[in-house]
A and B are shown apart, each in its own frame.
Chain A
Amino acid sequence: MTIGRLILHEIAYRKLNFAMSVFTVTIAIACLVAFVAILSRHDRRTEEIIAAKEAQTRAAMKALEDDYRKITLQLGFNLHILPKGLDLASWHADEDVAVFMPEEYADRLAKSGVATINHVLPILRERVTWEEKGRPILVKGTRGELAIFKRQEKKPLRDAVPPGTVVVGHELHRSLGIARGDKIALTLSRRVREGEAEIIRKLPTAYLTVHKLQAATGVREEDIALWINLGEAQKILQRPGQISEILALECNCEADRLARIHSEISSILPDTQIIELGPQAQARAEARNRAAREARQAIKREEEHRQELKDQTEELAAVLVPVVFLGCLLGMGLLAFQNVRERASEIGIFRALGMRNRPIMAIFVGKAVLTGLLGALLGYVVGTITGVILSEAGFAISSLFDPEMLLLVLVGTLLLSVLASWFPAREAVRQDPATVLWEN
């Protein structure tokens, strides 16, 4: 015979007392676990909602970015990187300026992994006369956009022009009746100042096939332009290895945008100067920043709403859980006291047999601990299932087992059981054995 076996026999004998004690603990633990499960589900749901919102926002941002990219495509590049020696007043006045920089600058910029700009497009641009048509035009030579080192390649705003071909601006092909696939002779001439006199110098004739006809843009730069391959343009215009500018699209830097761009590009290409096409750049930055701001606000609103719901549940739990726990403690204590009273003569027998205080207390506390642990296990299972049902979440087997929570519940209930049974057990050992043996 051991104390453990004695406890089990007694439990089997007084089933109702034991069942009521276990039920009391089960209810208390189930309430606690259900609340925790609901709160945990709430948190998980919040994370899901926020993640969905963020995904939604990212998609919206991507769509906006794409829309903007298309708009930008029409607006053109918003940064001009020009040779340092170029007179900006003449450039703004759209006068012919024969100041160039090496084509290698564009390569250097792309290879540097520059962070503040996108879409690096080297251009040789010159205002000339198309002798065959007697029309002033803009010749633009390009080799297409350069890939920036270590950066994901983006869809180009301006495609390269294949060698031997030409892309014709809208006004030119409209007024001259040029069609795609036409072969055109291109003899250009430029005005050159020699001393006091201005002379016209003819350039070698080139024969090109019309590769593409540009749609109307309403921008003079585009509508009277002929885009040709850079290498061929350098040859035709007799500017070997030279370009007149690098077009670029600035990145979206929120604060002090231009200063950062200037700083970075100057460090890579000291012999250049930068012109920002303000309205386009501003519009781009504002649109993107506004979208990002609104996305953040939408997520913040959702988080606040979810937090409010959580606060309400926590407030309820803060009141209900202690009440249930106190009720449980009281219930267990009362049942333990009742148990002690019922077993008064038993205590007298143990005394008569020479049992000390400690083992007598162990009989009562041991039973309470067993009651608590069984109630805790049942309460944990009931509470988790209740929590899953009440939080209207999908039933997941994995959610039934949270080792940390289970451990917390078991340890907590163990302490609660000992606390609730301690005073009744102490009462038991204080009983006068002669009195209880006599009275029973």
Chain B
Amino acid sequence: MLELHQVRKIYPGPSGPVTALADFSLHVAAGEMVAVRGPSGAGKSTLLLLAGGLLSPDTGRVIVDGRDLFQLSAEARADFRAENIGFVFQQFHLLPYLNVRDNVLAANLVRPVGNAQDRADELLSIFGLSNRARHVPAALSTGERQRTALARALLHRPRLLLADEPTGNLDDENGKTVLDFLADHARQGGTVLLATHDARVAEVAQRTVSLPTTRIDAAQLSKMGGS
């Protein structure tokens, strides 16, 4: 379902370029739930953005469901993302002026489907947000915001779900609910790629991928034969 081939991503930094991912390859099968672990700055978020086609790699290929994302036009990539990929961000990125229910339904603004209202209510119920449906994000706890972001990502049952620390802000009970749901999503054929520090995730994920503990500077990269 998701293939990353020799993907490299370098960011400019104040003391020279910093490599977030160096010739990284990964294959995640459909229905698989993979956890990506590593310390802060190891490139977990970069990996998710690359996998979602929001960030283009300097070299290498990102293939989702057989489609090389960066061979597609920007508009085609956006359509592909709307149809196949769900994102959950570490900072939630909820729309501050919409209530919980409308935030979940925001995905429907991009790709409208007929049963979106029912699906939204179902997700709110699963994540224990039904009684908070009319509240705006500012009135929610951190955990509630995280669950709202997750519900939004799942509205269209994406084939690939990319989640950045989905349980990082949740208590044990809520964290378990979310992880169970993600596992269930994978069991139903969805592919889940999680970036996490949470040890509990490893118990649920079928596989865990660890990223290097330190970033590589330009000189090290040169020794590796990179540009």
Interface string of B87-123 (1 = CB under 8 A from A): 1010101111110001001111111000000000000
B82, A355: Cβ atoms under 8 Å?
A: yes
Q: Could you tell me the distance between the alpha carbons of A139 and B97 in the complex, rounded to whole angstroms?
A: 110
Distance of B134 from chain A, by nearest CB (Å) = 13
Interface residues of chain B: helix, strand, loop or mixed (majority)? helix
Residues on B with C-beta less than 8 A from A353 are: 81-82, 87, 106-107, 109-110, 152
Pick the contact of A440 from B78, B91, B105, B111 — CB < 8 Å? B91
Q: How many angstroms between the C-alpha atoms of A434 and B82 in the bound complex? A: 16
Using known A-B contacts A345-B93, A434-B55, determine if residue A1 contacts B108 with beta carbons closer than 8 Å: yes
Least distance between A102 CB and chain B CB atoms (Å): 103
As a 0/1 sequence over residues 349 to 368 of chain A, the CB contacts with chain B under 8 angstroms (1 = contact) are 11111111101000000000
B81 and A346 form a contact (CB under 8 A): no
How many of chain B's residues have a CB under 8 angstroms from any CB in A?
A: 32
User: Is A12's CB within 8 Å of the partner chain B?
Assistant: yes
Q: How many chain A residues touch the partner (CB < 8 A)?
A: 28
Number of A-B contacts (CB under 8 A): 81
Tell me whether B89 and A437 are in contact (CB under 8 A): yes
- Whether A1 contacts B78 in the complex (CB less than 8 A), given A13-B97, A349-B95, A352-B52, comes out as no
Q: Does A2 contact B (CB under 8 A)?
A: yes
Q: Is B79 an interface position by the 8 A CB rule?
A: yes
Which B53-108 residues have C-beta < 8 A from chain A?
54-55, 74-75, 78-83, 85, 87, 89, 91, 93-98, 102, 105-108
Q: Which residues of A contact B110 (CB under 8 A)?
A: 350, 353-355, 359
Given contacts A13-B96, A433-B54, A434-B55, contact A355 B75 (CB under 8 A): no
CB distance from A344 to the nearest CB of B (A): 11
Give, as a whole number of angstroms, the nearest-CB distance from A411 to chain B: 29
Collect the chain A residues with CB atoms within 8 Å of residue B108's CB. 1
* CB-CB nearest in chain A for B95: A346
Q: A9-B98, A440-B93 are in contact. Are A354 and B111 (CB under 8 A)?
A: yes
* 6 nearest CB pairs, A to B: A354-B82, A13-B97, A434-B55, A354-B81, A352-B87, A9-B97
In the complex, per-residue mask of A314-347: 1 if CB is within 8 Å of any chain B CB, else 0? 0000000000000000000000000000000110
